[in-house]
Amino acid sequence: MERETLWREGVSHFENRRWSEAVTLLRQIEADPPDPALFLEYRGKSLFQMGEYSVAQVYLCRWLELSPHSEAFRLAAIAYGQIEEYDKSVDLLIRGESLYPEDPEVPSLLGATLRTVGRLEEAKAAFARALALKADHVGALWGLGVTLGILGDARSAKESLLKAVSVAPHFAPAHFHLGVTCHALGQAEEALRELAALRALGSTFAPTLEKILNQNPES
């Protein structure tokens, strides 16, 4: 099959979310792709969608070096996080935030990564930067709430999580953490309301929250 045909069919598979087929065809023209930046993007994204994060990050990092933009930084950072190379993920996101200071997704993702590695005050600051750019960013509201809860500031955590469920009432993780936070504050009625919301959503978080609510807040 000729290069142009392989490229055209590989792109078609990518656009139709047939990730494995796209990877198979694109691999055959890796030495001389018609459009190097698009090749790296499509191959990296396809591998990412397949869960092949170790290989995906290689292509995604090459893509962002050739054609740097916010999405490339975010996907490469997520891929690093999936293989637990958190320092590389953090470094990429710090670089991405400096290049794209108007994109709230970057500091929000940075906050989540920093929280994962226990850098809680830095995570809190990153989520705050995301919210300064987009006050109703549900990921940042939720992430900030979870982080504040870990830091022991349950009242501020509740405030952030209430905003999160207001913005995204179908976002089960925010309802779960709000329920946990209300329980920690001794606000049983509000905690039960979040349990009801999770049940209405059919969320798998509901049994876990129910178990927590059956414990004493101090335990």
30 within some domain: yes
Alpha-carbon distance 104 to 82, whole Å?
21
Burial class (CB in 10 A: 0-12, 13-18, 19+), 22: buried
Which CB contacts under 8 angstroms, 24+ apart, belong to 44-48? 44/75, 44/76, 45/14, 45/75, 46/14, 46/19, 46/20, 46/22, 47/19, 47/23, 48/75, 48/78, 48/79
- Beta carbons within 8 Å of 201's beta carbon, 6+ residues apart: 170, 172, 175
51 within some domain: yes
210 within some domain: no
Alpha-carbon distance 56 to 54, whole Å?
6
Instruction: Specify the pLDDT at position 68.
Output: 86
> Is pLDDT above 90 for 115?
yes
59 within some domain: yes
88 within some domain: yes
- 216 pLDDT band (50/70/90 cuts)? confident
> Is pLDDT above 60 for 156?
yes
110 within some domain: no
CATH code for the domain of 97 = 1.25.40.10
Instruction: Specify the pLDDT at position 215.
Output: 87
What percent of the chain shows pLDDT beyond 90? 94
136 within some domain: no
pLDDT tens-place string over residues 32-80:
999 999 999 999 999 999 999 999 999 999 999 998 888 999 999 999 9
Count of domains for the chain: 1
Domain that holds residue 42: 1-103
44 within some domain: yes
115 close to 147: Cβ distance less than 8 angstroms: yes
Taking CA atoms, 206 is separated from 45, 146, 161, 166, 191, in Å, by 33, 17, 17, 19, 11
